[in-house]
A = this chain, B = another copy of it.
Amino acid sequence: MPHIYTWDVDRWTQPSGVTGLNAGAGLGMGLAMGQGLDRGLQFGDGLFETMRLNAKGESPLMPLHQGRLKKGLAVLGFSPDAITTVERAMSKLSDITLAHLSTHTSSPITPTSAHNQPQAVDCRPDDGGVCSGVKIIVTRGNSTQGYGAIEGIRPNIYAVTFEAPELNPAPALINVGVNPVTLGEQPLLAGLKHLNRIEQVLARQKFQPEWSESIMLNQKSQIVEGCMSNIFVNIDNQWLTPPMDNAGVDGVVRQWLLSMVDKISVEVIPLKELASAQAICFSNSLSGFREVQALDGQSLLMNTDVTDWQMHYKSLFDEC
């Protein structure tokens, strides 16, 4: 069961007795902080981060998550005070992630579903730790009506802790297809993990039963990303990944990989080039890397690079 928290002045709070099926009630706390309705609900006026945690309840990629969130807050025009509040909440995340771990290490773990992948109940059976993740949602705050927000508006910050899928040394092999939903282009918001996600919701509805991910194109039939991952395509022994300057989310695993591996080229990939792809993989912070074994029924090759990347990614979580 997920646990829901809200940031209340200087601490994470979880109303007593509010977990699982009734967890939503916890939101009343956040929504009552100021006047009106949460602008996240009204306009999608905010950002989110989904982080994988190690056995200490920490995210090894925290600096990248914080960097993207801070960039997004600036683009959305959050005030310096609001940004300070968000940074404070992020710095105290271990208060709730540790609580999540201590809740679960002493009791049987119920597997949950993420991305429709088969789930393991425990990724570190040797020492009783659990795979866990946390999703942070930051909204501009509450207002009554209209797109304008008053000066001094205070952000609402929510956190959901959950059990994450097992992270194997080798990437999961998945079947994918090209999604019929194409992404709009908006350079102002490209790269950010903002709350305007109807395109992804519609794209998720278009998954075929055998798909675990799907390739999202822009309006020019160029590859952008997966529905919930970034994409890397191997053509002629060269790894390519699309730029994130008009659409898409600049994923933290993508950032991490690009910072480590020189041989990946960031360039536009027209859909027609998929026919020449030898290997394709997707990255996101929860599952690390997933490699495509079949694209619309056509088999692809496995590439040892991806196994290396996944092993390296997994080692980030084991070194704790």
A148 interface contact, C-beta 8 A: yes
Interface residues of A in 180-203 (CB under 8 A from B): 181-186, 188-189, 194-203
- How many copies of this chain does the complex contain? 2
Known A-B contacts A2-B36, A181-B188, A186-B184; the reply to A201 vs B45 at CB < 8 A is yes
Which residues of A are in contact with B by a Cβ distance under 8 Å? 2, 4, 20-29, 31-45, 48, 50, 76-77, 112-116, 135, 137, 139-140, 142, 144-149, 158, 160, 162, 181-186, 188-189, 194-205, 207, 219, 227-228
Name the distance in Å between A75's Cβ and chain B's nearest Cβ. 8
Q: Which of B23, B146, B200 is in CB contact (< 8 Å) with A114? A: B146
Q: Which of B21, B22, B45 is in CB contact (< 8 Å) with A198? A: B45
Contact status A38-B41, CB under 8 Å: yes
Contact status B31-A24, CB under 8 Å: yes
Chain B: CB-nearest residue to A195: B44
Return chain B residues, CB-CB under 8 Å to A186.
Answer: 183-184, 199
Q: Which of B33, B198, B204 is in CB contact (< 8 Å) with A194? A: B198
Contact status B145-A196, CB under 8 Å: no
Contact status B48-A35, CB under 8 Å: no
Known A-B contacts A28-B25, A196-B196; the reply to A41 vs B139 at CB < 8 A is yes
Contact status A24-B32, CB under 8 Å: yes
Name the distance in Å between A41's Cβ and chain B's nearest Cβ. 5
Contact status B35-A27, CB under 8 Å: no
With A40-B41, A115-B146, A196-B198 known, 9 other A-B pairs at CB within 8 A are: A24-B34, A25-B31, A28-B32, A38-B41, A44-B195, A113-B146, A114-B146, A149-B201, A189-B199
Jot down 25 A-B pairs with beta carbons below 8 A, ordered by A. Answer: A2-B145, A22-B32, A23-B35, A23-B37, A24-B33, A26-B28, A27-B27, A27-B37, A27-B38, A27-B41, A28-B28, A28-B31, A38-B41, A41-B158, A41-B195, A43-B196, A43-B197, A43-B201, A44-B44, A112-B144, A116-B148, A147-B201, A148-B207, A184-B185, A196-B196
Return chain B residues, CB-CB under 8 Å to A20.
Answer: 35
Contact status B145-A185, CB under 8 Å: no
Known A-B contacts A21-B35, A198-B76; the reply to A162 vs B184 at CB < 8 A is no
Name the distance in Å between A253's Cβ and chain B's nearest Cβ. 17
Name the distance in Å between A71's Cβ and chain B's nearest Cβ. 14
Known A-B contacts A199-B186, A201-B43; the reply to A36 vs B48 at CB < 8 A is no
Chain B: CB-nearest residue to A31: B24
Return chain B residues, CB-CB under 8 Å to A35.
Answer: 20-21, 23-24
Name the distance in Å between A89's Cβ and chain B's nearest Cβ. 16
Return chain B residues, CB-CB under 8 Å to A184.
Answer: 184-186, 189
Return chain B residues, CB-CB under 8 Å to A227.
Answer: 147
